[in-house]
Structure 1
């Protein structure tokens, strides 16, 4: 049975081992556990719709197992399901089903999509904002599945209650001026744990461009777009402290530091005290990823992010994007104004102050498969746009 569940919460970022606790029982022969899987999406940028058609989820105890090897366990949908990933944000899950599996440690998960074909040419498709719906090219996704290396420990008679997070913003990649888009999947996986952070941003902001994220050490653990009321939910967060970062077109970045998460969801505010960062001019950082100096060639598989080190910490991520799949170019629109920062206080109203020394100053970081060393360069947009080309390797 295939069921949509509303409202629940998006998935935590891939990280530690997913340990599944026992829930009683046990039987003869090989011990069995149960895996239940749902799908969600981090916010997408610049798209009205991102469709994928899911056929099944596969699991294997080896992270190197090929699709043709034995030992795969599967959750097969009775009928392939075409989903709009952009409907699975800010607290919505799509149930994919469950199956019994031999207990043990599983190291590989694959999400298998249906194929775009004559009868269903838009089974997997994307609609850029203001544009037409076009096929989404998904090389090898139909045959072998979108691969995720992980670790899931299923105990005898245990339930692995898991969520796959399909990050559409980072997974859909423009291919030059061809009008085509490629799928470069970015997936993560976690248990459903009812802990996290929630609050409100002002509805006077451009909500369609607003992103709220929970970060640790400049790494996004969870992100969400607010709904029409300004409410955002950053769920499935493990115990610890997080920096909540708010970005939006035409606004300075707002940062609430050291927000605690323990055994319940931390509520930051209500509608009467909704967060409203100050206005800011937006300036562009753009460039091309290349390798080689004598005969440079473009790197079309790189991922780029813009971070900002705040005075006295923390470092935050302000934006991230894959480079163009054809020409290796990228572009960020970043605030020129100083970010505003406040410390979390239980029961108190945050008092944000401008971090003037770092206004418009960013660090551009890039990584790409096949290159052991990434690229890090400074970018200053305090007074003008900046061009930052990224040179990989010699």
Structure 2
């Protein structure tokens, strides 16, 4: 069987390749799929972006299902399945820094598949639970996943399975954005944010490098971003090494966000489907200067309504000519409160150079770039907001009020 070199639907555009969505049981737009002859193979793995505030985020996968129609119902004919027997319980926080959990593979008719569902097991009445979280310093708490226990977590995709070839994909499960706090109840909901990425062999779609061991902490995030949107994120290991994989081929900003350190950005980092990218020369590490920790926070609401929307809050910062995400979080769905961790201090920047033997980051000379952020707020069915936040004088209280739909 020949290895498919790169899934065609993902290669055209690096941002569209990573089909990021809020997985749900709702429908999608109708799609007419092309037909093909012969059999191909679909292989699926699972990985995770960094999580925040948890020691464990556990999910138990029963099966992965794909269909050619984006509107196919659960009981319709035409589904192909990767069945895990027994179901596999995975701590998503073990799947960072390039680590993958293999879910399995299946043969299926060649063609274009437009719907993928990830089906999770139901929780029992006692622990250990199939799906759960362990808050930092806390105890295991069930993770409520109502949609996943019926028809599965739905994703609209555009996946070509060619005859006699392997379509190899990774489900990138963003645990930080997927776990929603329910106020003081001590309960958590799972509203998954999942990205579907291609995987290749030949040592491609990989970036690796080092940050200083002093900042190799669970709160440090290294990400590859396109126009301020993280495409792949991870936390470095204890030595400072980071691995970002898989990443759609393209050119990105490499962003390092560490507590108490200014933002560091390396521009023009290339990702290829045929070779590994080393972001830092041998013997060097990214070590941003110290900054002053700040917080931007408040309450999310809708004008004239008592409903608390679930919103994604992103702290964006300008570094040289790039816009990057410093931190993101969702609000509490009961109280509406949110908090974004930022820093006051001039960010530093450097341009990627394949032949470099040293690292050379320089401070951004624009004063506003050190203290001024834009908070981008988005929620399903509501008009997105962009709000300024200046942390010169200290923490910023920033209520976010969406217009009524």
TM-score, L = length of structure 2: 0.87
Distance 1:30 1:256, change over 3 A: closer
- In the TM superposition, what are the counterparts of 1:1-394 in structure 2 within 5 Å? 15-16=16-17, 30-118=37-125, 122-193=129-200, 194-262=204-272, 263-269=274-280, 272-292=283-303, 295-311=304-320, 313-348=321-356, 349-355=358-364, 356-357=366-367, 358-371=369-382, 373-394=383-404
Give unpaired runs (5+ residues) of structure 2: 1-12, 20-35
- Say whether the 8 Å CA contact 2:319–2:348 is kept in structure 1: no
- Is the deviation greater in 228-237 or in 241-250? 228-237
Distance 1:14 1:79, change over 3 A: farther
- Say whether the 8 Å CA contact 1:107–1:150 is kept in structure 2: yes
Distance 1:163 1:206, change over 3 A: closer
Deviations 1:183-202 (A, max 9, x none): 01011112113222110001
Q: Secondary structure at the match of 2:17?
A: coil
Give distance in 1, aligned partners of 2:310 and 2:241. Answer: 34
Give distance in 1, aligned partners of 2:315 and 2:168. Answer: 34
**Residue 109 of structure 1: CA displacement?**
0.8
**Residue 316 of structure 1: CA displacement?**
0.5
Give distance in 1, aligned partners of 2:166 and 2:250. Answer: 25
Distance 1:99 1:206, change over 3 A: closer
**Residue 236 of structure 1: CA displacement?**
2.4
TM-score, L = length of structure 1: 0.89
**Residue 38 of structure 1: CA displacement?**
0.8
Give distance in 2, aligned partners of 1:116 and 1:211. Answer: 31
RMSD: 1.9
Deviations 1:14-64 (A, max 9, x none): 73399xxxxxxxxxx952111011111111111111111110001111112
**Count of aligned pairs between the two proteins:** 369
- Say whether the 8 Å CA contact 1:247–1:318 is kept in structure 2: yes
Give unpaired runs (5+ residues) of structure 1: 1-11, 19-28
**Residue 332 of structure 1: CA displacement?**
0.8
